[in-house]
Amino acid sequence: MTFELTKDYLDHLQSAIDAGDDTLLRSEMEELFPADISGILYELDPEPARYLLGLLDRAIGAEILANLDPNDRPRLLKAFSSEELAPFINLMDSDDAVDLLNEQAIQVREEVIGLLEDREQARFILDLLHYEDGVAGSLMQKELIKINVNLTVNACIEEIRQQAENVENVYAVYVIDDNGKLLGLVSLKKIVLARKTAKIADIYDDDVVYVETYRPVAEVAEVMQKYDLDAIPVVNVQQRLLGRITIDDVVDVITEQAEEDIQVISGLSGEVEEDDTIWQRSKVQLPWLVAGAVGSLLAATVINGFQSELGKIAALAAFIPIIGSTGGNVGIQTSSLILQSLTDTSGLSTTLGRRLIRTLLVAIINGLVVGLIAGAYTFIIGEPRLFFVIASSLLAVVLLASFMGTVTPLLLNRIGINPAVASGPFITTANDLIGIGVYFMIAQWLLAEV
């Protein structure tokens, strides 16, 4: 049964916390999944959240803290002392522990590391802390199972039993040489089916996909998607095995990238959170809104320059919205496809000429269909003389918008500007100006005798 957090239930828990009813709180938490408890913590103030976490099993508490939203976690953890935080850090995967500690003040970070009972965990954390955000080293965890290539299967099984105690998910067993260099991997299936006296050297697979510590996380995500991997080993420049990156961390990266792309394509100049102040939310929306308003004012100036045509045939004004919206929609659709192709570097690149030809053919079909539909509407409103004006204008606008949607992100990418940020607002504004200008020029030409 799915848990639903209600205000009444939250008030019920808050009353139990205020009363110090530990028995009731433990009973309530035992019925919930860690993800459900996380939802409760988001709604509590730091002190009640600390109290509630203190009643949970340490392993469950560590799992909850590791999976809390990084944007909200610092608020909750400010009520914890270093002594209270260290036992949870002790039970986390090293990569999750580093992520959490990087959110804390340097003093707290050093105090917690010094208080860790598991000194191997402390060493893992110190190894990972020096990697910059955005590279594979910052995403990897040190916990994995590695065996020497010279071991027998029987000795390998014993080694796995010892190492697996600290590894949450065993996706593969990595094979190394005497110097710690990654040679390959061997599946658990092969180990189970092989003779106990067989050598690992005879059964391991040397065709292994790996990434170096300095590789961007976006590249790591792309490699894991391409080869459908649950985990990928991480090596240094000497090919020594240092750690692994698991699929759950890559999913987080992909989700963050998707959220960022949605925000920038929507015309937001920065990250927006639900609990941001009014000024913070306004600040990230305002730049592109101002740019859009300036573009609209320029479009109004273009329309004002064709007052004589509007004076002759007032019905021309009725079709201005469809000209603008069609151009904007086509431009955004086309640029979205181009942006998608730019992010996919796994295949062969398509030349600009080929992209333009394909875009032109699609635009001709779309423009003819939309133009004929809108042109037919001129008969319905009793203005058949506008048929060729509207049909040809929409065809021209679709062609121009498709061209702009193709060329703009490619040019921005070529000159080093993030096309996801600038393409949407730029294309929309440009299409408004060009589309309306083309519309009135065609009207002026075709209706010259009026």
pTM above 0.85, yes or no: no
pLDDT at residue 336, as a whole number: 75
pLDDT at residue 301, as a whole number: 76
Three-state secondary structure readout of 359-406: HHHHHHHHHHHHHHHHHHHHHHCCCHHHHHHHHHHHHHHHHHHHHHHH
CB 433 within 8 A of CB 302: yes
pLDDT at residue 434, as a whole number: 79
Give CA separation, 314 vs 303, 306, 371, 439, in Å.
Answer: 13, 11, 20, 14
Tokens of 313: 């045939």
CA nearest 82: which of 107, 103, 60, 102? 107
Residues of the chain where predicted confidence (pLDDT) is lower than 70 = 1, 258-289, 291-293, 295-296, 299, 306-312, 340-353, 417-426, 448-450
Average pLDDT of the chain to the nearest whole number: 83
Domains by residue range for the chain, with CATH? 7-134 (1.25.60.10), 146-255 (3.10.580.10), 278-446 (1.10.357.20)
Pairing of strands 146-148, 182-186: unpaired
Q: Which amino acid is at 354?
A: R
Tokens of 270: 């920065």
pLDDT at residue 116, as a whole number: 93
Burial of 306 (0-12, 13-18, 19+ CB in 10 A): middle
pLDDT at residue 348, as a whole number: 45
pLDDT at residue 328, as a whole number: 77
pLDDT at residue 347, as a whole number: 45
- Cα–Cα distance for residue pair 430/331, rounded to 1 Å: 10
